[in-house]
Structure 1
Amino acid sequence: MNFFSEENRMLAREIIGRYPKRRSAMIPLLHVAQAQAGWVSNEAMVEIAELVDTTPAEVLGTCSFYEMFKREPVGKYLVNICVTMSCALAGAADLMERAQERLGVRVGGTTPDGMFTLASAECQAACTEAPCLQVNYRYRYRVDAPQFDQLIDDLAAGALDDEIPPHGITARIRQRIPAERAVGAVPPDQVHEAPVWLTLSAANGASGGGAG
């Protein structure tokens, strides 16, 4: 039984076609799998292995290396609260305590309705905006308890659907490369000239330059 929907299977083939080696498409296909289901199942990894001509073990090795790929179900919204030094000094422990009270789950837990998974995170690179958190990797800065409650209310009501998609969807706009600017799926050892995009960039730079 196939994991990917027909639409995503077609997308997978398109993505694979961008690379000189099929295995190079592994990480993009893991993202497609997670966008479809919200997490990456064993069935998904088996199908990815077949598509890129490798083993499920290699796909698992790649998937398990990256924190953003989840290998078990999570909520529609993954709430990551930063607990590293700057956020800790600015009240991250109090914020985490409030989050556990409001959601009714401990860190690592998912609410019974499947809406929210609560997690702690290491530095989110927003130390000047502490304490901060991410919902499906979208930032919220300087969050206090009332703001957290409002965030949860808004998410549950669908008020932030345009801003924060369900877990697994990294972007709403998928990359599209015009044919005339594509490098092409050519093995590196068969490339003997500069790619088209580099030639065009150089030509445009030369034509747009002014006198010094």
Structure 2
Amino acid sequence: MRNIESNQVASTGVSSEKGKDVRASEEELIVQRTKEVLARFPHESSSLIPILQAIQERLGYIDALSMEMVASHLGVALVEVYGVATFYNQFRFHPPGRHQISVCLGTACHVRGGGIILENFERKLGIKSGETTEDREFSLDSVACVGCCALAPVAVIDDEIKGHMLPSKVEGIMLGFELEKEKKAKGKSPLGEDDKQG
């Protein structure tokens, strides 16, 4: 089983009273959305996995508070919900980032350096696989296979497949995100006026 912290309510990095208000409003949103999901399912333990999938689809991840609500809804122990949720790799326990990065570690990608590509993303982002950056800009995951073995090693960036990955391509991808962020901060569109053509 994968380990998750006892309180996975999203941390915003905001301190003081304002931080408490933000955290409280996030908890209220989690409760509201989890209730909406639970209302669609019967109070039967056979609904556990579909409920967890629906919560993750709605929230983007499964929060500890949601797991408590699921246990109560189904009349099962929290440890049972936790055990199922942590057994399957499909479930996330941290809020997803705005940009999703997945690195394939299937056989073809593994033998062609998929692990090195993952390490490069981890180093560049300052997080490990399965985590999200503090600013919630990026989530990094590894996957078993994306079905593009001829392009190995492969990364999937925001649903776009990037084949024949190299450490230098990791640098280029991250530089592209940095440039996009700088342009948005300056109030410019990602394309400069000179780049816009009829």
Is 1:55 the counterpart of 2:77 in the alignment? yes
Is 1:140 the counterpart of 2:166 in the alignment? no
Q: Do the aligned partners of 2:34 and 2:66 also contact (CA within 8 Å) in 1? A: no
Tell which has more relative contact order, 1 or 2 (C-alpha 8 A, sep 6+).
1
Is 1:96 the counterpart of 2:114 in the alignment? no
Match for 2:104 among 82, 86, 89?
82
Q: CA deviation at 1:54?
A: 2.2
CA 1:156–1:49: 2 relative to 1, 3 Å: farther
CA 1:50–1:112: 2 relative to 1, 3 Å: closer
Q: CA deviation at 1:152?
A: 7.5
Task: Tell which structure's C-alpha radius of gyration is larger.
Answer: 1
Matches within 5 A, 1:99-178: 99-107=121-129, 110-135=132-157, 138=159, 140-145=161-166, 148=170, 149-150=172-173, 153=176
Q: Do the aligned partners of 2:155 and 2:165 also contact (CA within 8 Å) in 1? A: no
Is 1:42 the counterpart of 2:64 in the alignment? yes
Q: Do the aligned partners of 1:74 and 1:116 also contact (CA within 8 Å) in 2? A: yes
Paired letter, 2:31: F
Gaps of 5+ in 1: 159-212
Matches within 5 A, 1:21-40: 22-40=44-62
**Which residue in 1 is equivalent to 2:92?**
70
**Which residue in 1 is equivalent to 2:39?**
13
Match for 1:4 among 8, 21, 31?
31
Q: CA deviation at 1:59?
A: 1.2
Q: CA deviation at 1:49?
A: 1.6
Gaps of 5+ in 2: 1-26, 182-198
Identical columns (%): 22
Deviations 1:74-116 (A, max 9, x none): 5344422123431134342453354245434455554342211
Q: What is the CA–CA distance in structure 2 between the aligned matches of 1:141 and 1:126, rounded to whole Å?
A: 10
Give TM-score scaled by structure 1 length.
Answer: 0.54
Q: CA deviation at 1:67?
A: 0.5
Q: CA deviation at 1:45?
A: 0.9
Q: Do the aligned partners of 1:130 and 1:141 also contact (CA within 8 Å) in 2? A: no
Q: What is the CA–CA distance in structure 1 between the aligned matches of 2:68 and 2:164, rounded to whole Å?
A: 40
Aligned Cα root-mean-square deviation (Å): 3.6
